[in-house]
Amino acid sequence: MSREKLQQLGLDLPLFPVTAVGSFPKPDYLLQGRSDFRKHKITADQLHKLEERATTFWIEQQEELGLDVLVDGEMYRGDMVAYFAENLPGFEQGGLVRSYGNRYYHKPIITGAVEWTRPMTVDWWKFAQNLTQKPVKGMLTGPYTIMDWSFNEHYPDRRATCLALAWVIRREVEALIEAGCKIIQVDEPAMSVRPEELPVLIEGLQAVTQGLSAYFITHACYGAFEHIYPDMLKAPVDNFDLEMSNSDLDMLDLFRKNPFTKDISFGVTDSHSHKIEDVATVRRRVEQALTVLPKEQVWLDPDCGLKTRSVEESIGKLRVIVEAAKSLRS
Amino acid sequence: MKLLLANHSSYPRIGGTRELQQLRRTIAAWERKEANDETLHAAQNALVHAAIKEQEEAGLDVLTDGLIRWYDPISHLAGKMDGIEISGLLRFFDTNSYFRQPVAKAEIHAKNGLTVSEFEFATTATQKPVKAVLTGPYTLARHTIAEHAPYKEIGPLTHAYAEVLAKEISALAARGCQIIQLDEPAILKHRADFSVLQRAVQFLSRHKGKATLSLAVYFGDPQPLYERLQELPIDMLALDFTYNPKLAERVVALGAQKPLALGLVDGRNTRLEDAAKLAHLIDRILLRVKGEFCHLQPSCGLEYLPRDRAAAKLKLLQQVRAHLKGSK
């Protein structure tokens, strides 16, 4: 079904399309540039040039490695929720809170009605797409995750917050489609945090995608999916991008009990390990996947965004995935 | 009835100033092997001091060390036990924070103390009572992958953790810890396992000495278990009131057979509660509680809030108490 949809959209992808989840590490010159910008040592234009240089670097890397569906690498974003909060009226930037280990992020605070006033990602998508003939994914964070990862001082409850955000994200999806984007990923890593709220997440994604012509992917990771599977398959997307390797492919047991009915971007390398897996390991993971999934449904990528890895580690992990995909195709 | 103001457990380990970001910088340097253990411990100590100072400034009666040294609530304890290996990241309940998952590879044993040195350090930083916090055996077990065959069932694994924690509780009590909080949020998600928790708490309560043993449940609605939780051999029950707006009325209706730690201030959202409204509710609850004292505390650890908001929540506790008409 989804292969047909891809073809209808004019996308002819090989077996085991290789993609990336979204973020890549920022090269040192960009990290320095962001630091200098915060200290008012460089202008916004100068920072923008560095972001363009880094985006170009990552597009070239993905081309060279042989990925099939590319991402812009999110060189202009600090954090997947904070970026949207910074660009949407209704949010204020909150202080730092810890994510895990020694990693912190600015958790936004919703202090008023959230509004979409202008595209937030479209210019970057156009910039990246103009650098390659391969399709570049539009990358958005989903309404449920933005709601869950923000403090709320305005809306009466979580559902109202999620739906208000859904209409905002829908406007961004419409803008991406209008610009020519055909594959749009709406990340919902908070998908499994409150299983009883899965209907709210699905309602939010329906508001985002309903009636719009694109191939939709959603990414989720590091959750207790056993509590929401198979109901999560009701989410109106074509492809679930799932972290599988960090959790030792344990979701395959769920798929055996209830068939996975959508396409899957199957995480074949651990994004939170410095170790670069070898091709045989990746192949073995795919072969295990194929014991329960039809090969036509399977895309390959890392478990999660790679921004916490080094540039070299990220390239290494992508390289083994591409090599494994090539060997599997042959 | 006396209402004491308490911190729940964790406190932010970062803030807006350079001084409050020292620990983050030091850990990063330590991970790159550019800082040694001594430097790391000094940075941790400084942040514990800062957390305690802010709790004192907020007028709290019962403090914690902010769990500043904990990587996460699971691996910090389990990782110090023989038989356990620490594995990949997993989301911690419905928070946007992650823990490293323990894998039980062999029989679990205590290696050294888990938290006693942390408790002792905190007591040197304040004259106020310091509450020790331990993640409970059931919650540890629920978050562990059991590869060791005898632990395949949740009961034996929980008991194995309880045996290690019993020694820790004894050690804390022997060092003068007056209140030990056992965190068992997982039971709210797995109510059918209540008897497993019950057996573990019965076992642990025999090791508490003169300490007050408090059981804390949060990240869920405790109402379905409220009456059964009352029957556990604990000295205090800490409840999260934020997941069910009707819970407070239920407590008023049913009363409480033992002191409560009232988690009425939301530790997960920045919106500040109305102090007068909370005080009115607490006045009604306290009339229905048996015992000489209750605690008022955040619904959960405060490390899910930015530091300025966490401090504001603690100060709110004082404002709430000032509004009470009855007990103070």
pLDDT tens-digit profile of B36-64?
999 999 999 999 999 999 999 999 999 99
Helix or strand run (H / E) with residue A301: strand A298-302
The residue count of chain A comes to: 330
Q: Predicted confidence band at B18 (pLDDT cuts at 50, 70, 90)?
A: very high
Candidates B47, B95, B143, B270: best to mutate against A (most CBs of A within 10 A) is B270
A:B CB pairs within 8 Å: 83
Distance CA B175, CA A37 (A): 51
Distance from the B210 Cα atom to the nearest Cα atom in chain A, whole angstroms: 35
How far apart are alpha carbons A320 and A282 in whole angstroms?
7
Backbone angles phi, psi at B12, to 5 degrees: -55, 140
- pLDDT for residue B156: 98
Backbone angles phi, psi at A148, to 5 degrees: -70, -30
Q: Which domains does chain B have, with CATH numbers?
A: 2-21+56-323 (3.20.20.210)
Residue to substitute from A81, A91, A100, interface B, most B β-carbons within 10 A: A100
Strands (E), chain B: 2-5, 81-91, 98-110, 131-135, 145-146, 179-183, 212-217, 236-240, 260-265, 293-298
Mean pLDDT of chain B: 96
Distance CA A167, CA A185 (A): 16
Whether residue B328 has pLDDT greater than 80:
no
The CATH number of the structural domain formed by A2-25+66-79+114-329 is 3.20.20.210
* Contact status of A157 with chain B (Cβ, < 8 Å): no
| Interchain CB distance below 8 Å, A100 and B14 | no
Cα separation, B136 vs A137, in Å, equals 44
pLDDT of B327 = 60
pLDDT at res. B236: 98
pLDDT in tens, A114-171: 999 999 999 999 999 999 999 999 999 999 999 999 999 999 999 999 999 999 999 9
Q: Are strands A298-302 and B2-5 parallel, antiparallel or unpaired?
A: unpaired
CA angle B209, B210, B211 (to 5 degrees): 95
Q: Which residues pair with B63 in a beta bridge?
A: B130
Residue B17 sits at the chain A interface (C-beta within 8 Å): no
Residues of A in contact with B13 (CB under 8 A): 98
Q: Do B306 and A107 touch (CB under 8 A)?
A: yes
Q: Which pLDDT score, from 0 to 100, does residue A2 have?
A: 78
Residue for token pair 């908001």: B309
Helix (H) or strand (E) holding A242: strand A239-242
In sequence order, what are the residues at sequence separation of 6 or more whose Cβ sits closer than 8 angstroms to the Cβ of residue B184?
B136, B138, B139, B197, B215, B216, B217
| pLDDT of amino acid B215 | 98
Contact between B215 and B229 under an 8 Å Cβ cutoff? The reply is yes
Q: Which tens digit of pLDDT belongs to each residue from B149-194?
A: 999 999 999 999 999 999 999 999 999 999 999 999 999 999 999 9
Q: How far is it, in rounded angstroms, from Cα A106 to Cα A98?
A: 9
Cα–Cα distance list, A182 to A55, A187, B159 (Å): 20, 16, 54
Most A-contacting residue of B33, B47, B76, B91 (CB-CB within 10 A), to test interface? B91
Q: How far apart are the first and last CA of chain A?
A: 24
Are B24 and A102 a contacting pair at CB < 8 A? yes
Q: Residues B280-291: what's their mean pLDDT?
A: 95
Note whether B188 and B225 are within 8 A (CB): yes
The 8-class DSSP code of residue B110 comes to E
Rounded CA-CA distance B229/B232 in Å is 6
Q: What is the dihedral of CA A20, B94, B75, B226, to 10 degrees?
A: -160
Q: What is the pLDDT of residue A105?
A: 87
Cβ-based contacts of B269 with chain A (< 8 Å): 151-153
Q: How far is CA A215 from CA A7, A10, A218, A236, A259, in A?
A: 10, 11, 10, 10, 21
The rounded Cα B50 to chain-centroid distance in angstroms is: 19
Interval A218-241: pLDDT, tens? 999 888 889 999 999 999 999 999
Query: Is residue B274 within 8 Å of residue B313, measured between CB atoms?
Result: no
Full pLDDT tens readout for chain A, 330 residues: 578 999 999 999 999 999 999 999 999 999 999 999 999 999 999 999 999 999 999 999 999 999 999 999 999 998 899 999 999 999 999 999 998 999 998 899 999 999 999 999 999 999 999 999 999 999 999 999 999 999 999 999 999 999 999 999 999 999 999 999 999 999 999 998 899 999 999 999 999 999 999 999 999 988 888 999 999 999 999 999 999 998 889 899 999 999 999 999 999 999 988 889 999 999 999 999 999 999 999 999 999 999 989 999 999 999 999 999 999 998
**Is A262 near chain B, with CB under 8 Å?**
no
Distance CA B304, CA B158 (A): 27
